[in-house]
Structure 1
Amino acid sequence: MLAGFPSRMKIALDTSHLFIAREGIARYLRGLLKGFATVGTPGMEIETVAWPVENFGFQQPLRAMKTAYREGIWGRIIAPVALRLQKFDLLHSQGDIIPPSLFPNQVITLHDLARLRFPQFMRPWNRLMAGNRLSYLHQARRIHCISHFTADEAHRLLGIPLSKIEVIHLGVDALPVEEPTDAFRATIPESYFLFVSALKPNKNIRLLREIYLLAESRSIALPPLLLVGARMEGCMSEGTPPASWKFLGHVSDATLGWLYSRAEGLLFPSLYEGFGFPPAEAMRLRCPVLCGRVASLPEVCGEGAFYSELSPEPFLETMRQVLSEPNQREDKVEEGYQHSLGFSWEKCAREHLELYASV
């Protein structure tokens, strides 16, 4: 048993996001559970709680109905009663399903403050609930922030005392690298840039479109761009995608690892991140990362990224630099790889256990 831990502490981990999305918070929860399984949970009994009904689709009104039930019925009636009846000592949540007013002894993970910084980009339901969710942070016992950047914003914008905040970086998996099927491989060019993200305005895919159009206007040949996660239908709102873009949608971790390992670089022009899984995963597989020196990215990438201003001219020049300067590329790749080794799910899990014990 670790020093300072109670003899037996019963903790509920809200894993609702495993049934809401495949990436982002869901990737964090999968990694944390893996970390707990590896390091053990001495003196603690950790159980997952959720309404285990998937809601990955985009079709309305079914998606909205599931969201309303998960947050309105399960989160506000069923879960709080069950937590009390089963005598849980602590709930670790993401601060959006079970209000602290209904189960006060809570640790909330704060991933970012996009709901405050960019409310115009949020779905109507999330925009409606933003005020409540921000108030939950003040009611929680402790706040886990996934980066120093997010912790600084929580303190500066919300007035949350630094003494209430604990920064625990997320882990980074070395994704498996497996050869895809011959049929899939036949569709992938020998040379390509990669974009990995859900399609959200803060991901700044508009900039990539402007860069490719600028290159075309100057007769500059760029490798095609492969987009993982983004849907072509959503990109159409930014204008017609360049002809060299290929939309792959959701792919397995093994296929994603293979794509990272062969890419000329990951293009990640995001305007705002709480952490940034794709750059960290790319660095672990020695894939060059091109991004802006914004938000949490300098914290996650260290000196292992090719940083650029987030405008067409300088970003295009950085892309050409990656393609034409192999020695600098090799140095950056090694720096990025070494930096990524500092993010592990085992370390993340141990620091969570220490946080739970401090409540």
Structure 2
Amino acid sequence: MTTLQHIGLGLGRIRHWHDGLGEFSRQLTLALAQQAPRLREEHGIRFHVHLPRAYHGEFGDAVGYLDTHTTQRWLHLRTQRFALWHTFHQHNRLRAPLGTQRRIETVHDLNFLHTKSGTKLARYRERMRDRLAHADATIAITHHVAGDIERELGPLRTAPQVIHNGATDLTRSPQQPLDGLADRPFLLHISRMAPTKNIAALLDLAAAWPEQRIVLAGATSPYSTEVQQQVAARALGNVVIRLDISEAQKAWLYAHCTGFLFPSLAEGFGLPPIEAMHFGKPVFLSRLTSLPEVGGDVAHYFDRFDGAQMRSVVEAGLAADRQPGRAAAIAAHARGFSWQRCADAHIALYCRLLAR
């Protein structure tokens, strides 16, 4: 009988799947769970997913489930010993179980470099440096993030390994129309509606282009309330906000928008632009952080964030992407980011570490 090697997948105290970290955690775990029977048979590997009890069973019965608890921030005890523990993101503050032999940390971004300063920045940097110092491997989701890690936190025990995220192809998913949006064309933005997503620039674009409808979709939050207040105060009648949309509604928005806007100030990856590209849609990005790496030469880029200049970029890009073959090229670029390919790269890393 093959001795099992137990691998913990540390999703942490996740609350929902509706943001970038939630989508990453869910899709990667689904892709790993699909291969769990084969990995157990061929390599003696058994996956255990560490997340709140409310989500136990989410990934089928080929994987085990471990409950989370606040005390695991300081001490995590299990009777089961783990050969490997993979912490899925840097915001997961729960420790690997005591006695774990190998540890992997995935870093999605170092956005604190852009949002913190002074002693708070130094504290965040030191905390992250300490986490990675104890890791046997570090995964960065883009080359941009890997460069940030090596520049700001190095030297590490081993250089970061880049494994690009996948991006879900929703083109064959069920679609649900949103009331009041089918009557005329619209440009689309989807995100968690945080200040770093540069919603302010999109409102300036709307002010400079009053005849163009712009739909902003995201999650309910204090900041989304602030955005709603700004839209009302500036009387931006061409801006429509839709919060807490379903997957079917998201698929409908991607399918029916004329273009996708994502002028983010700080991204580790940027899943929504690739999701829009699966539909062959023109995508407009900032040139900051990881977005040029992800968007490649099929995206269009904002060099400045004043409304008039952004309008010019979008109008030119929409015209260019009406040319024959452009939609197909955009969709082909998106297919390069698959969750199965992402999972395969993770499994290869797991096997290398287990073989040490």
CA separation of 1:291 and 1:326: change in aligned 2, threshold 3 A? closer
Q: 1:29 maps to what in 2?
A: 25
Query: Match of 2:138, SS?
Result: strand
Residues 1:289 and 2:278 aligned together: no
Q: 1:192 maps to what in 2?
A: 186
Q: 1:250 aligns with which of 227, 244, 247?
A: 244
1:14 offset after TM fit, Å? 1.1
Q: 1:227 maps to what in 2?
A: 216
Q: 1:117 aligns with which of 114, 117, 124?
A: 114
CA separation of 1:203 and 1:26: change in aligned 2, threshold 3 A? same
> Do 2:133 and 2:157's aligned partners in 1 also have CA atoms closer than 8 Å?
no
For residues 181 and 256 of structure 2, the distance between their equivalents in structure 1, rounded to whole angstroms, comes to 14
1:151-175, Cα deviation, whole Å (9 max, x unpaired): 1110011114483311111111111
For residues 73 and 158 of structure 2, the distance between their equivalents in structure 1, rounded to whole angstroms, comes to 28
For residues 300 and 32 of structure 1, the distance between their equivalents in structure 2, rounded to whole angstroms, comes to 18
Q: 1:47 maps to what in 2?
A: 48
For residues 269 and 292 of structure 1, the distance between their equivalents in structure 2, rounded to whole angstroms, comes to 4
1:200 offset after TM fit, Å? 1.4
> Do 1:177 and 1:261's aligned partners in 2 also have CA atoms closer than 8 Å?
no
Task: Tell me which amino acid in the other structure corresponds to 1:283.
Answer: M
> Do 1:207 and 1:311's aligned partners in 2 also have CA atoms closer than 8 Å?
yes
Residues 1:139 and 2:134 aligned together: yes
1:326 offset after TM fit, Å? 5.2
More helix by share: 1
Percentage of identical aligned residues: 25
1:228 offset after TM fit, Å? 1.1
For residues 287 and 317 of structure 2, the distance between their equivalents in structure 1, rounded to whole angstroms, comes to 17
1:98-146, Cα deviation, whole Å (9 max, x unpaired): 24695573101100001233227xxx9x997674344212221111111
Query: Match of 2:344, SS?
Result: helix
> Do 2:105 and 2:137's aligned partners in 1 also have CA atoms closer than 8 Å?
yes
CA RMSD of aligned residues (A): 2.9
> Do 1:100 and 1:140's aligned partners in 2 also have CA atoms closer than 8 Å?
no
For residues 7 and 148 of structure 2, the distance between their equivalents in structure 1, rounded to whole angstroms, comes to 28
> Do 1:303 and 1:336's aligned partners in 2 also have CA atoms closer than 8 Å?
no
For residues 134 and 237 of structure 1, the distance between their equivalents in structure 2, rounded to whole angstroms, comes to 39
Tell me the TM-score normalised to structure 1 length.
Answer: 0.81
Q: How does 1:55-66 map to 2 (within 5 A)?
A: none
> Do 1:39 and 1:349's aligned partners in 2 also have CA atoms closer than 8 Å?
no
For residues 294 and 107 of structure 1, the distance between their equivalents in structure 2, rounded to whole angstroms, comes to 27
For residues 33 and 129 of structure 2, the distance between their equivalents in structure 1, rounded to whole angstroms, comes to 31
Aligned length: 324
Residues 1:344 and 2:333 aligned together: no
CA separation of 1:272 and 1:304: change in aligned 2, threshold 3 A? same
Task: Tell me which amino acid in the other structure corresponds to 1:74.
Answer: Q
1:187-215, Cα deviation, whole Å (9 max, x unpaired): 44430000100121211011111122223
Q: 1:98 aligns with which of 94, 98, 118?
A: 94
Higher relative contact order (CA 8 A, sep 6+): 1
CA separation of 1:213 and 1:188: change in aligned 2, threshold 3 A? same
1:9-62, Cα deviation, whole Å (9 max, x unpaired): 2100012254255221111111112212334434211110123368xxxxxxxx
Q: Name the stretch that deviates more: 281-290 or 99-108.
A: 99-108
